[in-house]
Structure 1
Amino acid sequence: MKTQEAHVGGTIGEMIVHGIDRYPDRVAFIDGDARMTYRALGDRISQAIAAFRALGGVDDHAYIVDDAEARVFMADPVYAERALALRERCAGVAHWFGHADVPGLPSFWDQAASFAPARLVPEALTTDVIRLAYTGGTTGKPKGVMLANRCVWMQAVLLLAARSLPDDLRLLCPTPISHGAGAMIVPTLWRGGTIILQHGFDAERFIDAVETHRASMTFLVPTMIYTLLDHPRARTADFSSLQTLSYGASPMAPARIREAIERFGPILAQSYGQTECPSNILQLTQEDHMRTDVDTSTSAGMPYPGVTVALLDDNDEPVAPGSVGELCVRSPLVMDGYWKQPQLTALALRNGWLHTGDMAYRDQFGYYYLVDRKKDMIISGGFNVYPKEVEDVLTGHPGVAAAAVIGVPDAKWGEAVKAVVVPRPGAQLDVEALRALVRHAKGAVNTPKTIDFVDALPLTALGKPDKKQLRERYWGGMGRAVN
């Protein structure tokens, strides 16, 4: 039975309904030439709810069967070919639909249109798991993260309370809204803002959208910012409407942070989180980026309100001040666990802490600095090497556009440090000069034994450097690629 107590703390549905009721005639979404008002959004949601109910009840809405074999599948026309291929392989899915005109699939919205729109009434409880989010899988098989209403609601509230949001909120989303940009959807609806959708990131189309729609806020991953900065139009485009450029998902090179501030102004804001504690563990605000008394360019920031952070050793004891430890979290944001994986859940949430797998230290000012993923750490000749520290040095070179550092098999050292470097257009890079740069900054142990130059780094679907794929090139079948 759903009790009144279970609603304490609010729900994401209540936040969405608030925006729809308060701003019915404002434009909620822009997708190419299409516009959707808040009133139309409410009607669509109402019709979708009615259509789902008509499919056969609670049992038919069990979307996750045998590790995410959904019972209902809806495909965007962009992914029509993939959807039809999946239908051949996923016999457990009972209902297949297209969001619009997808050949071979019935239109969901044609079916939903047979239901009259009704007033929206939030029904989910704060304790209900409303999202099964899958980890990126860069260090192994993806895991289904169970996020309760409580987690997603608090994520939205923290973004409203702790992030600098423009008064005229026009959110440009060139990244998947299932990822970082999606965290801003509900806060934007709460504020009565407009969400401008794009199908994938393209620097030219991004600049066009900023200038045409006067976007005031966006979310990009660092590789996208690099591409934007290197685009010829970036020097002359009108970015004056942008008041907040939020970035995250992977570390950004300090040299490119400074370059972005010079080009776009003091509008950068970084947020660090992970799927298991979505988006809001640490934040580096616009003001933090501009401090002159301390260099924050390599910092992930300070904790959000309502988030308790500790640096723990392998025995879950606090490390000494200034020492590196695993960043662990306690907060209502933290997941309920991994779908159907109780052992992994117990390991990740042991002793009441979410163990993020990220190694970090805290400075005297209270800023946290991520040194790398615990699983990405290289052990070379018995010494620990954190790839991010080496990458930061390499990307500080004016001729380096991007860099990734990995460990590769070595008969003498066990693992040898290898750097994979993307030169900037026209740059002439010298391997020994780059090695000397690292040796001077970080010492001999951290200096890459070898450096390869490539045109581009492999990226995940979310735009992160894919070190798993990168390691596979050098480890072959030896197993390190999935660690």
Structure 2
Amino acid sequence: MQHPSSDLHQGSTIAELYRSAFKGFATREALVGGGVRMTYRELEQACHRMVRCFESLGLERQDGIAVLATNRPESVAAIIAAHLMGLTYTPLHPMGSEEDQAFILVDANVKALVVDVPRHADRGLALAQRGIVRHVLTLGPANYGTDLLAASAGLDGSDIELQVRPDDILKIAYSGGTTGKSKGIVHHQRTVVTSALQQLAGWEWPQEVRFLAATPVSHAAGAMILTTFLQGGTVHLLDRFTPGGFLKMVAAERITTTFLVPTQIYGLLDSPELGAHDITSLSLVLYGAAPMAPARLRQALERMGPVFAQVYGQAEAPMTISYLRRDEHDLDRPQLLGSCGRSLPGNLVRLLDADHDEVPVGEIGELCVRGPLLMSGYLHRPEETAKAFAGNWLHTGDMARRDADGYLYLVDRAKDMIISGGFNVYSSEVENCLALHPAVALSAVIGVPHEKWGEAVMAVVVLKEGARVPAEELVAFVTERKGVVQAPKMVEFVAALPLTALDKVDKKTLRARYWEGRDRAVA
């Protein structure tokens, strides 16, 4: 029997999926932001002009390109152009340090850096002056580099020949590592194609998709641009999240769906503007990236309606490991408000113990995954890759339990678990308890050094506006509901908690104040 070519069973590429959307919905509105409204055809032509500009600079398929940008149409076009050309795309954290960004540019062998000006003009200049990338391209005029918008404006916007291969690297995303340096997470075309198809099949998209990107498109929100386009929907870009700005845009553009992290939802619930705008068009609010306190989720359902659905993933297996549907956000089944749903088709999920054996139903194990959604590994870090894939599973680092119906419940990040006097304390459970107190807006629970117990439970608390409560009351509140082991031994009140560039509570920064100079094996 004649064997078929290896190309016969190759999957699609992201470039082909974008082209499908561009051709299928040419006259529809694709992208809105910063006073710009672009149809699919206009966006496609802008991307083709950028590709030709990249080619004129000598860039070739699989060369590295990094983007430091905010949510604006031009930055989205640059990212899509990189995908159409088959460049290896690396997003830079908008709030990352110069040293970390410079390390990433070198580690990923980036040939071209795209900089959004004026928002990042100074950082772009600092990186350009290091001389570590061949081309610095600015989105608008600057006193350094090449203005990508001006250089591409007069070029041909007609169709390009797609050279992208299904086995190409699509993206190298960076996250913090135990060495103190960020580690590059390598995703081939397979990963993002899988995530897109799982989003389309498993998520409950509205009939008319008007998606509001309220988090950086360089990270979570960017994963939903392609799936919006594949449905002929419109992506609206919010440059910077504020509760008032978000609510105004939802009302003005009749937004039907969005993605938010829990701290953003808390901000909406605590905002006096929540009831002042018509947001009835909003039928699907996807949330994830960090645990959400069930008590606050109940408030959100009561005030904003049954519009919430939870997505769970991580940088190594993005967005679509599991999903909790809207109808599963059921106030008559309150236990489900603490669940991240059930695994989506295409993923094999197991909860494993230290010996890689599956734990019984109801017991806690590390959530591990197999399937085409997974990263290919960590760039230049074979030992960390081997550790992450030990036993031929992706080890997420999330501790979880599963009930008899298959619902998953995250109890903590392994690194956030506190071991106090030999007992395991799951910080998220204490945070969820504190969220039940009427005075508490937000909390972060961490372990701090203790001579007798090794670690002591500490709660760092943000109170609701105008609220007052003594620390002893919060300690007693947790003790009554969770027991003395889980109760904080210290409570610190702060005006705000430190957040990462993605608006997630930054426990690493909180812990650093107490563990500096001490040996603690968490990042």
State the TM-score, normalizing by the size of structure 2. 0.88
Aligned residue among 158, 183, 198 for 1:143: 183
Contact 2:135–2:145 (8 Å) recurs in 1 = no
Aligned residue among 140, 145, 157 for 1:117: 157
Aligned to 1:328: 368
Aligned to 2:86: none
Contact 2:62–2:168 (8 Å) recurs in 1 = no
Aligned to 2:43: 41
Q: Which amino acid aligns with 2:339?
A: S
Q: Which amino acid aligns with 2:17?
A: M
Shift of 1:204: 1.5
Mapping of 1:368-407 within 5 angstroms? 368-407=408-447
Shift of 1:71: 1.2
Shift of 1:12: 1.4
Q: Separation in 1 of the partners of 2:290 and 2:176?
A: 12
Q: Separation in 2 of the partners of 1:440 and 1:122?
A: 63
Q: Separation in 1 of the partners of 2:498 and 2:373?
A: 31
Aligned to 2:110: 70
Tell me if 1:80 matches 2:121. yes
Aligned to 1:175: 215
Aligned to 2:13: 11
Q: Separation in 2 of the partners of 1:310 and 1:117?
A: 48
Q: Separation in 1 of the partners of 2:222 and 2:510?
A: 28
Tell me if 1:412 matches 2:452. yes
Mapping of 1:249-398 within 5 angstroms? 249-290=289-330, 292-293=332-333, 295-398=335-438
Contact 1:272–1:279 (8 Å) recurs in 2 = yes
SS of equivalent residue, structure 1 residue 391: helix
Q: Separation in 1 of the partners of 2:277 and 2:210?
A: 18
Structure 2: runs of 5+ lacking an equivalent:
66-103
Q: Which amino acid aligns with 1:36?
A: M
Q: Deviations over 1:290-340 (max 9, x none)?
A: 262452111111101101100111111111221110000001000000011
Q: Separation in 2 of the partners of 1:185 and 1:192?
A: 11
Tell me if 1:188 matches 2:225. no
The 1:57–1:204 alpha-carbon spacing in structure 2 relative to 1, beyond 3 Å, is: closer
Q: Which amino acid aligns with 2:261?
A: V
Q: Which amino acid aligns with 1:408?
A: V
Q: Deviations over 1:422-459 (max 9, x none)?
A: 10011111222211221122211111111111111100
Shift of 1:113: 2.8
Q: Separation in 2 of the partners of 1:379 and 1:327?
A: 20
The 1:212–1:171 alpha-carbon spacing in structure 2 relative to 1, beyond 3 Å, is: same
Mapping of 1:101-250 within 5 angstroms? 101-135=141-175, 140-250=180-290
Q: Separation in 2 of the partners of 1:221 and 1:196?
A: 17
Contact 1:310–1:329 (8 Å) recurs in 2 = yes
Q: Separation in 1 of the partners of 2:178 and 2:283?
A: 32
Contact 1:475–1:481 (8 Å) recurs in 2 = no
Shift of 1:257: 0.6
Q: Separation in 1 of the partners of 2:522 and 2:424?
A: 19
SS of equivalent residue, structure 2 residue 110: coil
The 1:131–1:39 alpha-carbon spacing in structure 2 relative to 1, beyond 3 Å, is: same
Shift of 1:138: 9.3
Q: Separation in 2 of the partners of 1:104 and 1:193?
A: 36
Q: Which amino acid aligns with 1:181?
A: A
Contact 2:106–2:132 (8 Å) recurs in 1 = no
Q: Deviations over 1:156-208 (max 9, x none)?
A: 11111111111111111121012211111001111111111111211111111
SS of equivalent residue, structure 2 residue 273: helix
The 1:456–1:218 alpha-carbon spacing in structure 2 relative to 1, beyond 3 Å, is: same
Q: Separation in 1 of the partners of 2:264 and 2:31?
A: 22
Q: Which amino acid aligns with 1:371?
A: V
The 1:399–1:140 alpha-carbon spacing in structure 2 relative to 1, beyond 3 Å, is: farther
Q: Which amino acid aligns with 1:149?
A: Q
Q: Separation in 1 of the partners of 2:329 and 2:61?
A: 49
Q: Separation in 2 of the partners of 1:92 and 1:7?
A: 39
The 1:457–1:6 alpha-carbon spacing in structure 2 relative to 1, beyond 3 Å, is: farther
Q: Separation in 2 of the partners of 1:282 and 1:138?
A: 26
Q: Separation in 1 of the partners of 2:227 and 2:178?
A: 29
Q: Which amino acid aligns with 2:259?
A: F
Q: Separation in 2 of the partners of 1:480 and 1:469?
A: 14
Shift of 1:60: 9.0
Aligned to 2:84: none
Tell me if 1:26 matches 2:67. no
The 1:411–1:238 alpha-carbon spacing in structure 2 relative to 1, beyond 3 Å, is: same
Q: Deviations over 1:369-415 (max 9, x none)?
A: 11111111111111111100111000111110001000001111111
Q: Which amino acid aligns with 2:116?
A: D
Shift of 1:480: 3.2
Contact 1:420–1:452 (8 Å) recurs in 2 = yes
Aligned to 2:82: none
Q: Deviations over 1:210-268 (max 9, x none)?
A: 11111111111110111111111102221101011111110111111111111211000
Tell me if 1:438 matches 2:478. yes
- Of 468-477 and 48-57, deviating more is 48-57
